[in-house]
Amino acid sequence: ETGVTQSPTHLIKTRGQQVTLRCSSQSGHNTVSWYQQALGQGPQFIFQYYREEENGRGNFPPRFSGLQFPNYSSELNVNALELDDSALYLCASSFNRHDTQYFGPGTRLTVL
């Protein structure tokens, strides 16, 4: 059974650019949640996708958007990058909306 995978591992962008991060959910899981983890902090919820629809959103601006595909993989898009967007972006998948969330290794985004 393959766990949650994320790509790329690391990414460096400049302020104002756009970025797309990708996540493949664990086999059999239909729900993907995205979190932002700043250095020294706990993960902060961005949004969740369940069966290709957004199922809930945290306190993040609209320039953070996402998609979920028929195979339940997901993308996180961030437009107009700001310096404070530098963080570890974590994807977690679960069997269903309310089940245990299993995390991927994360994508380290640095905005210069």
Partner 1 sequence: GESVGLHLPTLSVQEGDNSIINCAYSNSASDYFIWYKQESGKGPQFIIDIRSNMDKRQGQRVTVLLNKTVKHLSLQIAATQPGDSAVYFCAEKNLGNSGGSNYKLTFGKGTLLTVNP
Which residues of this protein are in contact with partner 1, per CB under 8 A? 4, 33, 35, 40-45, 48, 50, 55-56, 58, 90, 92, 97-98, 100-106
Q: How far is the CB of 89 from partner 1 (least distance, A)?
A: 10
10 Å Cβ neighbour count for 75? 17
Q: How far is the CB of 79 from partner 1 (least distance, A)?
A: 22
| Residue closer to partner 1, measured from CB, 92 or 109 | 92
| Residue closer to partner 1, measured from CB, 50 or 64 | 50
| Residue closer to partner 1, measured from CB, 19 or 104 | 104
Q: How far is the CB of 91 from partner 1 (least distance, A)?
A: 8
Contact 37, 21 (CB under 8 A): no
E strands within the chain? 5-7, 10-13, 19-24, 31-37, 44-50, 53-57, 64-68, 74-78, 87-94, 102-103, 107-111
- Lookup: tokens for 109: 């985004």
